[in-house]
Amino acid sequence: MSYVRLVNVTKRFGDVTAVNSLNFEIGKGECFSMLGPSGCGKTTTLRMVAGFEDLSDGEVWVGDRLLSSPKKNHYLPPEKRNFGMVFQAFAVWPHLSVYENVAFPLRIRKLPDSEIDQRTKEALKATNLLSAANESPDFLSGGGKQRVALARALAINPDVMLLDEPLSSLDPHLREEMRFEIKELQQKYGFSIIYVTHDQSEAMALSDRILVMKLGVVQQIDTPLNIYNHPANQFVFSFIGLSNFLKAIPQDGHVILPDQSEAVPMTLKPPDSLRDAALLSLASRPSEIDFTHMEDPAGLHGIVSRKAFLGEIIDYQIKVGDQVLRVQKGRRDPGPEPGAVCAIHFLRPFWYKEK
Amino acid sequence: MSSIKTKSSFGVAQVILFLSIAILVIVVAFPVLLILFNAFWVNDEFNFAGALEIIKEPQTFQALKNSLIIATGTTIGSTIVGTFFAWLVTRTDLPHKTFMKSMFLVPFMLPSFIGALAWKMLLSPNAGFINQFFIQHLGFTGPIFNIYSYIGISTVEVMYLFPFVFIQVCGALERMDPTLEESARISGAGLFTITRKITIPLVMPSILSGALLIMLYSMAHFGTVAVLGIENGIYNIPTLIYERIHQSGGSFDAIRTGTVLATVLVISAAIIIYAQRKILGSGHYQIIGGKSFRPMELKLRGLRMPLMIFCLAYIAFTIVLPTVVIFLVGSLKTYGLAFTFDNLSLDNYKFILFDYKVTRDAIFNSVTLGFTAAIITMFAGVMISYVIVKMKVRGKGILEFLGMLPFSVPGSVIALGVILAWSGQFGINLYNTVWIILVAYIARYMAFSLKANSAALEQVHDSLVEASRACGATMWQSLRDIVLPLVRPGMLAAFFLIFLPSLRELTVSIMLYAPTTRTIGVAIYTLNEDGETVISAALAGIALIIIILGQSVINHFTKKAGV
Ligand SMILES: Nc1ncnc2c1ncn2[C@@H]1O[C@H](COP(=O)(O)OP(=O)(O)OP(=O)(O)O)[C@@H](O)[C@H]1O
Ligand SMILES: [Mg+2]
């Protein structure tokens, strides 16, 4: 089932370990995203798969083909790997027409002219570029250029498509549109995708599975839903979606706030495994907090300090002692005004140990 | 409120504009116009046919052809050499790339006519050291290479001009988005295919623009042809102009021929500059990438060592060897003696620096002329650039046009124009004084100053001055307190860009010198013509030392300033 396989892949630049012992497997036709903050090693990983960067350690496989393995002194150069790749800055050749850009990989493979023409046209058609075939890519918009890059990668009918932040040079509207185009192309051609991005909504929308990475180390690999609903650790929780962290100190199976300004309701209990920690974080999503302006003894008390109308939602800031929580409610459900005392209920609290 | 603001700046702006126009008109436009006027205006009427007649004369026509032949050879050679080395030091795993790169830039600061002198000593058909060595020791019956030929002249020019292409192509390759090449690679292309189909086509505009620069420079180049061509009857346009003016002592016919030839130079220069702007303007691809990785390096594998040896040999042969020869010959007691320890001494250098009036004067003249010209041109350049880049006044268009002139007027044209303008016909006679050389230097180097200063000024955002004006500063105050400090690096660059080349200037000074107003270049050239080979070589050695010292000072300063 697994098609692309990374085994203990490690990359060191001098003293810096950019990628640390990475393991994952991707199925045929799967869309796999790598997500993480800037500098966490996403691009480096992708470039190792492509063959632009050699490995310090580990192995890269596609099917039963070994691509890179420093231990076995094996390295297949990028031009032999038969991948499609799309770069952030498009990398469309300005001295060639759109048609010639797309035909380039086919010409390199010395295919017969008729086949080159047929496959180039097919790739252009799939990316809605047929009408621009003879133009210079310089006259295309950013989206147009990125389509040329996609068509060029599609032309060779690759088994694996590598995309490094392919949409981040586009404006937000176009970005959403292109997302679906990529997904459609994948469904039509059935290639596997490794998709690098630091935009979580992009990763969520596109991927079958997401890898979250931090400082070269994998944090979690799972489906978008599981990553959102069951984040493996505090980093993943904070990286995906909006988040609140309320500091709390365990005491007798319950918790108290560090400044002890408010009483924490007894129902808000950390799991038993975390009782011995010195400091805990109570993690919550702004949309998964409920609050009323009545003084409800069962809730945690706070004071509304800001209320901002953001269109569909209303964004609140609530002060709990010297800490601040962000809460979002639908606009149809107007809450209290600033200054009001309210009681807070966490709908889905997560507990993490503070280091 | 706004009317008060315009009113207070109105006078200043107009004065600056007027001054700028006046400088460019007096220094550049007027002499050039005089050349065109003299070329086509004979006996109170326009005479185009007469000018054509002059071009058709066998000698002038031959000089035109020679200029073209030499320039073509030089351009093709330099383009190949420059592009190849640029590719080698930016795109391959050649060992010691940084060192090689800095060495390939050295010819930029070496005066090509001194190089030509060295090559004459090495490869002149009969007396050249290399030719002699082959004849005497290896049994050759004749010279292995005659430097007094088209090929010889072009080869020497290539050695000193290829950095124009080298630096342009290096820059383009370094700025180029590496993913342009990487996407070709992932498409299945090998590195040689990528170089041929992607890399070279993408930097073609830079290659062409460097090539055109060389074409322009070589067509109007005096020194190398004067040293290596005249002996064999090979004249190009600048050497023929010089020959005519020099021999005839300024007769009408000579001036006429000179102006017609100069007109040809001006026109070809204009065409070349136009073509260059076209290429750089429209054809320049947007190949500069966003955030990117190191460009990939071509593994040379088996060729790595041979290519490194080739580069080192090239450097040794074209840079080290001529320099060593100059110093060795400069240390000889008499030319023709063998290079044995007994025959070498520092006496010539001492003689030149302390006893010989001709050379002492020449050094003094060059340094004072260079310094004065650099100061004046630097200030004039910053003012003119300021108007062109920053000010919004009516009549700026004229200045923009005039500002392009200095870029397209070759040295020998300037010299001739200056003779026409300042020899008394218009009430001022500077002929045979240092002042005429100074005026010519200012005209010749104005382009450098304009370039450096406008580059610096373009970095200064308009809002900075507006902010200062809004704070209540007058136009002058904002210039002095805001703009001047910001453009100081540009001015400093302009100063050195003028001072150093002027120390070795030959093309202009050779046309304008009088017995007491020789410059270093003129002294080296005339001493050599007079058969004082060792003294001339010693002076050339001193010049090289001054230039290299000056360059080190600049490098030191620019590094410190972080430019
Ligand atoms: N050629 C190199 N030499 C030295 N260090 C490098 C090199 N390439 C990458 N690094 C380092 O490796 C780490 C990972 O970089 P990488 O580009 O893979 O991050 P990224 O996740 O793609 O970030 P971004 O979102 O900014 O693109 C960074 O700390 C970077 O500085
Ligand atoms: Mg990246």
Residue B215's nearest CA partner among B226, B207, B204, B227 is B207
**pLDDT for B1:** 37
d(CA A203, CA A165): 10
Q: Beta strand A313-320 with A300-309: parallel, antiparallel or unpaired?
A: antiparallel
**pLDDT for A334:** 72
The segment(s) of chain A belonging to CATH 3.40.50.300 are 2-237
* Mutation site for B-interface testing, chosen from A53, A90, A169 by largest number of B Cβ within 10 Å: A90
- Mean pLDDT for chain B? 85
**Buried residues in B413-432 as b, exposed as e (16+ CB within 10 A):** bbbbbbbbbbeeeeeeebee
In angstroms, what is the span from residue A10 Cα to ligand 1's centroid?
13
d(CA A76, CA A69): 9
Residue A24's nearest CA partner among A42, A43, A9 is A9
How many CA atoms are closer than 13 Å to the CA of B188, on its beta-carbon side?
Answer: 19
The pTM (predicted TM-score) of the whole model is 0.80
In angstroms, what is the span from residue A39 Cα to ligand 2's centroid?
7
The segment(s) of chain A belonging to CATH 2.40.50.100 are 242-353
User: For residue A41, which atom of ligand 1 is closest to its CA?
Assistant: 18
In angstroms, what is the span from residue A43 Cα to ligand 2's centroid?
4
* Mutation site for A-interface testing, chosen from B93, B179, B180, B187 by largest number of A Cβ within 10 Å: B187
Q: Does domain A242-353 have CATH number 1.20.210.10?
A: no
Terminus-to-terminus CA distance in chain A, angstroms?
39
Which of the four pLDDT bands, split at 50, 70 and 90, describes residue B296? low
**pLDDT for B192:** 84
Distance from CA of A83 to the nearest CA of B (A): 6
The B residues from 198 to 237 touching A (CB cutoff 8 Å) are 198, 201-202, 204
**pLDDT for A161:** 94
Check A79 against B292: CB less than 8 A apart: no
Task: Please compute the mean of the pLDDT values over residues B425-431 and round it to a whole number.
Answer: 80
Distances (CA, A) of B358 to B347, B376, B531, B548: 16, 27, 15, 23
Q: Return the CATH number of the domain spanning residue range A2-237.
A: 3.40.50.300
d(CA A20, CA B309): 40
Q: Is A38 in the pocket of ligand 1 (CB under 6 A)?
A: yes
Check A85 against B204: CB less than 8 A apart: no
Best of B293, B294, B297 to mutate for ligand 1, by most ligand atoms within 8 A of CB? B293
List, for residues B303-313, the tens digit of each pLDDT value: 889 999 999 99
**pLDDT for B295:** 61
List, for residues B45-69, the tens digit of each pLDDT value: 777 888 888 888 888 899 999 999 9
List, for residues B60-101, the tens digit of each pLDDT value: 899 999 999 999 999 999 999 999 999 999 888 899 988 999
Contacts of B284 in chain A (CB under 8 A): none
Contacts of B201 in chain A (CB under 8 A): 95
| B283, pLDDT greater than 60 | no
* Nearest chain A residue to B178, by CA: A91
Residue A146's nearest CA partner among A90, A81, A201, A223 is A90
List, for residues A160-211, the tens digit of each pLDDT value: 999 998 888 888 888 888 888 889 889 988 999 999 998 888 999 899 999 9
**pLDDT for A56:** 93
Residue B357's nearest CA partner among B233, B523, B491 is B523
**AA letter at B139:** G
Distance from CA of A286 to the nearest CA of B (A): 34
Q: Is A40 in the pocket of ligand 1 (CB under 6 A)?
A: yes
List, for residues A268-282, the tens digit of each pLDDT value: 888 888 888 889 999
Per-residue pLDDT of chain A (355 residues; tens, 9 = 90+): 578 999 999 999 989 999 999 999 999 999 999 999 988 999 999 999 999 888 999 999 998 999 999 999 988 988 889 999 998 888 899 889 999 999 999 999 999 999 999 999 999 998 889 999 999 888 888 889 989 999 999 898 898 999 998 888 888 888 888 888 889 889 988 999 999 998 888 999 899 999 999 999 999 999 999 999 999 999 999 998 889 999 999 888 888 888 877 778 878 888 888 888 889 999 999 989 988 877 777 788 888 999 888 888 889 999 998 899 999 988 777 778 888 888 888 989 999 988 7
| B10, pLDDT greater than 50 | yes
